Amino acid sequence: MKNTIAITPELVAQHGLKPDEYQRILKLIGREPTLTELGIFSAMWNEHCSYKSSRLHLRGLPTKAPWVIQGPGENAGVIDIGDGLACVFKMESHNHPSYIEPYQGATTGVGGILRDVFTMGARPIATLNALRFGSPDHPKTRHLMSGVVAGIGGYGNSFGVPTVGGQMGFHTRYDGNILVNAMAVGIAKSDEIFYAKATGVGNPIVYLGSKTGRDGIHGATMASAAFDDAADEKRPTVQVGDPFAEKLLLEACLELMQTGSVIAIQDMGAAGLTSSAVEMGAKGDLGIELDLDKIPCREEGMTAYEMMLSESQERMLMVLDPTKEKQAEAIFVKWGLDFAIVGKTTDTLRFVVKHKGEVMADLPIKELGDEAPLYDRPYVETPKRPVLDAKKITSPMSNREALLKLIGSPDLASKRWVWEQYDHLILGNTVQQPGGDSAVVRVGEGPRGLALTSDVTPRYCEADPFEGGKQAVAEAYRNIIAVGGTPKAITDNLNFGNPERPEYMGQLVYCIRGLGAACEELDFPVVSGNVSLYNETNGRGILPTPTVGGVGVIDDVTKSMTLAFKAEDEIIVLLGETTGWLGSSSWLAEIAGREDGAPPPVDLLMEKLIGELVLGLIKDGLVTAVHDLSDGGLAVGVAEMAMAGGVGATIAALPFGLPSHAELFGEDQARYVVTVKNKDALDELSRRVGAVVATGEALVIMTVIGKTGGDALTLPGEMPISLSELHNAHENWLPSYMAGEL
Amino acid sequence: MKARVTVTLKNGVLDPQGKAIEGALKSFGLEGVDSVRQGKVFDIELSLTDKAEAEALLKAAAEKLLANTVVENYRVEILG
Amino acid sequence: MKSAVITFPGSNREGDVIRALRRSTGHEPASIWHQDAELPKGTDLVVLPGGFSYGDYLRCGAIAARAPVMDAVRTHAAKGGLVLGICNGFQILVESGLLPGVLMRNAGLKFICKMQHLKVGRSDTAFTSAYHEGQIIKVAIAHGEGNYVADADTIARIEGENRVAFRYCTAKGDTKAGNPNGSLNDIAGIYSEHLNVLGMMPHPENLIETLVGGTDGRGLFESLSTLRGAA
């Protein structure tokens, strides 16, 4: 395609630009763009790169705290974790490509997020992933799931980072749009963090990593496009990942960073060379001039347009100290990677791209980002749903049967089939592997550790986006506390439908507000994140899914806590209030076949007070097991503790005066189940609860609900369920489903 | 000169990947598929022009690296 | 006991095994790059760690087996020096001819990472003197190609010469039921003819602390650390 091709409305539309956006371009540069320039605008101004529909609302999120070193705006977020160390982390989506080619979509999602972390100088030490698939009955679900899981394992295992946690859920609203959100966590010295901001005029711009091919051209545009039935035809644009190349790139970059030669560094992700070069220059108030003749290509005859938009993986761009060029080159030769000087910084504030002696693009560098469209899209609030009265909802089966059905249901069943395909032990620092409230990894030789979790309850967000947004953060907070961690910061991956539809835009706006309210109250700021919109097929959007990736610090990881019952004859205590909340619950969906009712409200003050109480109990060695309650409520929570510990329990008749199925399966928030060894510990626990109540801030409720012991779980008024029966129900669903036996 | 080296598993070596592929083909209702064994194809461009020299080179490549002769066979073809 | 750990492009468990060696021997192992022509003087033990050398491209361990440093490893082994290959290291040893057989794709076709019990074979070698014969230990596995295959003559010879170092088993010692990947005779690790080269698929180096799962892996490193001078 010639650079001076006539720009037709069709061409503009093909580039994902609306007519008024094109007018903005004309006004900005005062002429028609060249084809290369059109490509650059289409990449920089699409939803995925510019956040044009969301950034107005994201501005309201709390992003600061004394321990935050770097908030949103860089490759990843950075927090101080003590002892001169920093934790660098982020979550990102790779939804649309994973639907088209699940293995490669997932691998490149993992690859991209790992690069975002190590480009800042942090060695990745753990990854997590949050996955949403369509209904298990949908014909594509098994294929998509096995491809995505194989891809995540294929990349992470080879690269050499343990995959330690995550979430997996199924719902018909994801039938045509699966979600693959990948989170990476790394450790760096807090005074050796590397940023993307270029400095110094006339400094060389260096390309490192794999050669450039035609992968994913228009990938960033595709990420912003909704699918129609022609989605299968989009296959050629999916990028292919090479974890081996990424491992070499990691080692080479970390070595390079030790030499002091790196002034700025940015990985090439969505919109490849274009976005990384523009951002590096714009952040540093510098112009960038690129000479595409120098770009290492693996295909012949690539045009400027193709080179600027290619999304070939495993590539970085950096600004190098010119006095250290030879030293840097030697490191890349050692690791067998391509290294080329492809341009320089200038003082013109222009982004100039040259190829074969011709200027293919000459654009104002700051305005490319700053003048990206910023939309205040119309939105409507989701109508509030009525609060369901538990007394009016009868159970079609016994609580015993309901428990077995719930723990064997797709969302709650054991995901062992998945995480045994992930190397979760490499690096020898996995203190708590998948299956607990949070993953726990030791940092180096310790004593410090990190608690890592990924949470969101999409059906709550559908019912009430504001409460659902709060709940996602609150659950992450509880999951970190439950293992003995102090919650520090979150990364958020917002997955929503078409923002041009006011009802879906409303979901985005109110979920963000809910997230923000919880982050503020819980001192749990957002330090990085990602937005994925247009997740809809044939006009129907996904459930609103604001995935929250939480990070907490554990001062002494040998004192971290697990949810397993530890011994016989321990006292089981429920902390928090139970009102038998069935609206939008798992029980309501799985057992009563309904998805209505307002979701459980989140009392942020209560979350904070109970959270601090529980953390204190763990630190002072007063409790032997801790589990936060979420999907499936009390009965599921206790069953999970029994199965994990191989110790049964007897739950006494509950004193809440509600229908038993509401007491056992209601999903009231701000609740934990803990065990204590003996009466002395119970008395101390009572005393502490009383102290909180005495402040008048909130009425924390404590209820002794039973005792551990035996090899069965006995619910009030029911025949015991043996541990092996529980185990079979929990473990068998997923392997049977994947073997096609269901 | 274009050449192709095809590497296949020796008879008798268990091929679980081949078996899985076989099962999948049969599940598509493709009647007439009896068995599948999976192998590898290496398409190699040579700067040599002499056929005998090329065959010797490819044989050495197969023996030294491309095939694990403990469990794999190989076949060398000059394509043109 | 001086040890040297080789890093190939794509190795990723060298840190794990270096830590295990450091803790048991009190010495820092030497780190060797795959392009080094020689091992440090006085090396007693060479370790090929786990990982995905060369991305497992072509075949697992195939390209690493042909690396410059492997000539030095071969010479070291021929002189009776100790060589330990773990997971990808085992794959490199069979590709390089230092051990017989082949490691093929797991029978279930999927990568498996989990805790795994092993039955220890003979305990009169440099690697297993801290265990007793028949001991059941819990270590970890993390591999996609751990299915040990060899022809009938080779298997007969290995078994006949009591060179099976470890067999997969359940916690109760049942080998057949405990086999995670289809390996012939439930073989998890084997010795060379003179018992100085050991290749094993499981990861003892990940089970050296209670905090991360258990300490049964220590025995292998403790056995090695009791050696004095070159074998």
**CB nearest A420 (choices: C10, C112, C211):** C112
The model's pLDDT over A473-530, given as tens digits with 9 standing for 90+, comes to 999 999 999 999 999 999 999 999 999 999 999 999 999 999 999 999 999 999 999 9
**Residue A1 clears pLDDT 50, i.e. is over it:** no
Which residues of chain C have a CB within 8 Å of the CB of B71?
102, 104, 149
pLDDT at A742: 66
Measured in whole angstroms, the distance separating CA A189 from the mean position of its chain's CA atoms is 24
For residues C121 and C195, what is the distance between their CA atoms, to the nearest angstrom? 12
Could you tell me the sign of the dihedral formed by the alpha carbons of A122, A123, A125, A131, in that order?
positive
Do residues A218 and A316 lie in contact, with contact meaning Cβ atoms separated by under 8 Å?
Answer: no
The model's pLDDT over A549-562, given as tens digits with 9 standing for 90+, comes to 999 999 999 999 99
Q: Which amino acid is located at A158 in the chain?
A: S
pLDDT at A238: 64
Q: C87, C95, C143, C169: which is the annotated catalytic residue?
A: C87
Residues of C with CB under 8 A from a CB of A: 9-10, 12-13, 15-16, 19, 50-52, 54-57, 110-114, 140, 142, 144, 203, 205-206, 208-209, 211-213
Nearest CA to A248 out of A337, A134, A185 is that of A337
Residues 6+ apart with CB under 8 A from A558: A446, A447, C211
Query: pLDDT confidence of A218, banded at 50, 70, 90?
Result: low
CB contact under 8 A, B65 and C109: no
For residues C198 and C189, what is the distance between their CA atoms, to the nearest angstrom? 7
The model's pLDDT over A377-429, given as tens digits with 9 standing for 90+, comes to 999 999 999 999 999 999 999 999 999 999 999 999 999 999 999 999 999 99
DSSP-H helix ranges across A523-650:
586-590, 604-619, 633-645
The model's pLDDT over A673-732, given as tens digits with 9 standing for 90+, comes to 999 999 999 999 999 999 999 998 889 999 999 999 999 999 999 999 999 999 999 999
Instruction: Catalogue the long-range contacts made by A14-21 (C-beta closer than 8 Å, 24 or more residues apart).
Output: A15/A39, A15/A41, A15/A42, A15/A221, A16/A42, A16/A46, A16/A218, A16/A221, A16/A224, A16/A225, A17/A41, A17/A42, A17/A45, A21/A45, A21/A373
Mean per-residue pLDDT of chain A? 94
The model's pLDDT over A239-287, given as tens digits with 9 standing for 90+, comes to 788 999 999 999 999 999 999 999 999 999 888 999 999 999 999 999 9
Using left for φ > 0, alpha for ψ between -120 and 50, and beta otherwise, residue A253 falls in: alpha
* pLDDT above 70 as % of chain A: 97
pLDDT at A56: 96
Q: Which amino acid is located at A319 in the chain?
A: V
Nearest CA to A685 out of A597, A621, A639 is that of A621
Taking the CA atoms of residue C82, residue C85, residue C90 and residue C92 in that order, the dihedral angle to the nearest 10 degrees is -90
Other beta carbons within 10 Å of A45: 27
Please give the average pLDDT of every successive group of 10 residues along chain C, which has 231 residues: 96 97 94 96 97 93 94 97 98 97 95 98 97 98 97 97 98 95 98 98 97 97 81 41
Q: Which two tokens stand for residue A604?
A: 């942020």
Q: Touching check for A424 and chain C: CB below 8 Å? A: yes
**Residue B70 clears pLDDT 90, i.e. is over it:** no
**Residue A219 clears pLDDT 70, i.e. is over it:** no
Helices (H) and strands (E) in chain A, counts: 25, 28
For residues A219 and A271, what is the distance between their CA atoms, to the nearest angstrom? 7
pLDDT at C204: 98
Which residues of chain C have a CB within 8 Å of the CB of B65?
58, 62-63, 66
- Which chains share 3+ C-beta pairs under 8 angstroms with B? C
Q: Which two tokens stand for residue A264?
A: 């700025």
For residues A267 and A436, what is the distance between their CA atoms, to the nearest angstrom? 33
Collapsing DSSP states into helix, strand and coil, what is residue C70?
Answer: helix
Helix A502-522 to helix A465-482 angle (10° resolution) is 40
Shortest Cα distance from A420 to chain C (angstroms)? Answer: 5
For residues A542 and A493, what is the distance between their CA atoms, to the nearest angstrom? 14
Q: Which amino acid is located at A650 in the chain?
A: T
Taking the CA atoms of residue A331, residue A337, residue A338 and residue A342 in that order, the dihedral angle to the nearest 10 degrees is -50
Nearest CA to A48 out of A469, A495, A507 is that of A495
What's the pTM? 0.95
Q: Give catalytic status of residue C113 as yes or no.
A: no
Collapsing DSSP states into helix, strand and coil, what is residue C4?
Answer: strand
pLDDT at A239: 77
The model's pLDDT over B25-47, given as tens digits with 9 standing for 90+, comes to 887 788 889 889 999 999 999 99
Query: pLDDT confidence of A2, banded at 50, 70, 90?
Result: low
The region of weakest confidence among A331-340, A459-468, A501-510, C124-133 is: A331-340
For residues A58 and A62, what is the distance between their CA atoms, to the nearest angstrom? 9
